């Protein structure tokens, strides 16, 4: 059971990283327009038409 001493804190840490990432993106207003964000991913305005 000694392995728990490493694994449990690691699992918690990973979870916390996810939580912090979520709060960060919320703070940066990435959740303000979920509809538009979905479409922006497939917009082709960054592709040079010649290539």
Partner 1 sequence: MTQALDPQAVRDLSMFVRTGADGADAMDLAVGGIKCAVCMATIEKGLSHEPGVVSARVNLASKRLTVEWTRGENSPERIIDRLDELGFRAHPFSPRKLDSEEAIEERKLLRCLGVAAFGAMNIMLLSVSVWSGNFSDITPETRDFFHWLSALIALPTAAYAGRPFYESALRALKAGAVNMDVPITLGVVLALGMSVVETWQHAEHAYFDSAVMLLFFLLIGRYLDQSVRRRTRDVASNLATLRADTASRILPDGTIVDVPVEAIDPGDVVLASPGQRIAVDGIVDSGQSDVDQSLITGETRHVPVARGANVYAGTLNISGQLRIRVTKAESGTLLAEIERLLTGAIEGRAKYVRLADRAARLYAPVVHTTAALTFIGWLIAGLAWKPALLIAITVLIITCPCALALAIPAVQVVATQALFRRSVLLHAPDALERLADVDTIVFDKTGTLTLPKPALANGGAIDPALLARAGQLAVASRHPLALAVAEAAGKPAAALDVREEPGAGVFALIDGAEARLGSLAFCDARDAGDAVAAAYPDASLIAFRHGEAVAVFAVEQGLRDDAVETVAGLKQAGFRLLILSGDRGEAVRRAADALGLDDFAGDLKPADKIARLAVLAGEGRKVLMVGDGLNDAPSLAAAHVSLSPVTAVHLAQAAADGVFLGDHLKPVSDSVRTAKIARKVMAQNLWLAVIYNIIAVPLAIAGFVTPLIAALAMSGSSILVTLNALSARR
Interface ranges with partner 1 (CB under 8 A): 1, 4, 8, 11-12, 15-16, 18-19, 22-23, 26, 31-36, 39-40, 42-43, 45
Q: Which of 43, 51 has the CB closer to partner 1? A: 43
| Distance of alpha carbon 40 from alpha carbon 35, whole angstroms | 9
3-class SS string, 5-19 = HHHHHHHHHHHHHHH
How far apart are CB 3 and partner 1 at their closest, in Å? 12
How far apart are CB 28 and partner 1 at their closest, in Å? 12
């Amino acid at each position: 059971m000694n392995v728990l001493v490493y694994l449990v804190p690691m699992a918690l840490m990973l979870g916390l990283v996810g939580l912090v990432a979520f709060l960060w993106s919320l703070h940066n207003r990435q959740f303000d327009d979920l509809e538009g964000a979905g479409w922006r991913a497939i917009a082709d305005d960054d592709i040079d038409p010649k290539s």
